[in-house]
């Protein structure tokens, strides 16, 4: 996105907002997983190594460990999702115009199960090459564009997340 050729600013569409929210969900799931695992591991290590009372759980220390891991998980969630939240807040995307250098279609064959009604046992992969980087695209856009066409790349400005690729004029 660092290329400065013909940048335009537009508002986010519903699909763009959904894509950014999905990125935030992944950060939330990861921080929740870290919270649960770190709490269980922290309490277990304390109980096995430092607790002098083997008959019960020390709730004060378990609570402190839980609060510590919760604050770490919240910080982790903030660090992962902050840029996506800012993109959602400012409701803006940057459009960069680039030229399609090459496009390729590849077929990946895989075995289908016996007795299944799968009509095709392969997956088609459509790629555009722009500035030496391969981008996966859908079949409709692949068939619509030819080499040398102008493409519009829609980026979120803060996170620099690629939202979509469109055909230019």
Task: Print burial letters for 26-46: b (CB count within 10 Å at least 16), e (below 16).
Answer: ebeeebeeebeebbeebbeeb
Percent of the chain predicted with pLDDT > 90: 76
The pLDDT, as a whole number, for residue 51 is 82
pLDDT digits (tens, 9 = 90+) for 89-145: 999 999 999 999 999 999 988 776 666 666 667 889 999 999 999 999 999 999 999
In what helix (H) or strand (E) does residue 108 lie, and over which residues does it extend?
Answer: strand 102-109
Query: Is a pLDDT exceeding 60 seen at residue 1?
Result: no
Question: How far is Cα 43 from Cα 35, in angstroms, rounded to an integer?
Answer: 12
Q: Which residues pair with 134 in a beta bridge?
A: 129
pLDDT digits (tens, 9 = 90+) for 50-82: 888 878 888 999 999 999 999 999 999 999 999
Query: Is the pLDDT score of 3 beyond 60?
Result: no
For the entire predicted model, the pTM comes to 0.78
Q: Among residues 116, 127, 110, 132, which one has the least CA distance to residue 165?
A: 127
């Amino acid at each position: 996105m660092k290329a400065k050729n013909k940048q335009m600013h537009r508002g986010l569409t519903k699909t763009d907002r959904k894509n950014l929210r999905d990125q935030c969900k992944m950060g939330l799931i990861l921080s929740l997983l870290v919270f649960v695992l770190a709490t269980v591991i922290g309490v277990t290590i304390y109980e096995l190594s430092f607790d002098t009372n083997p008959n019960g759980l020390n709730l004060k220390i378990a609570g402190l460990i839980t609060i510590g891991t919760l604050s770490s998980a919240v910080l982790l969630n903030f660090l992962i999702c902050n840029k996506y939240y800012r993109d959602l807040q400012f409701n803006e995307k940057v459009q960069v115009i680039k030229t399609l250098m090459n496009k390729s279609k590849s077929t990946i064959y895989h075995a289908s199960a016996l007795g299944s009604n799968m009509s095709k046992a392969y997956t088609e992969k459509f790629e555009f090459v722009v500035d030496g980087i391969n981008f996966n695209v859908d079949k409709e856009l692949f068939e619509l564009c030819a080499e040398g066409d102008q493409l519009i790349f829609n980026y979120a400005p803060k996170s620099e997340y690629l939202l979509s690729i469109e055909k230019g004029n």
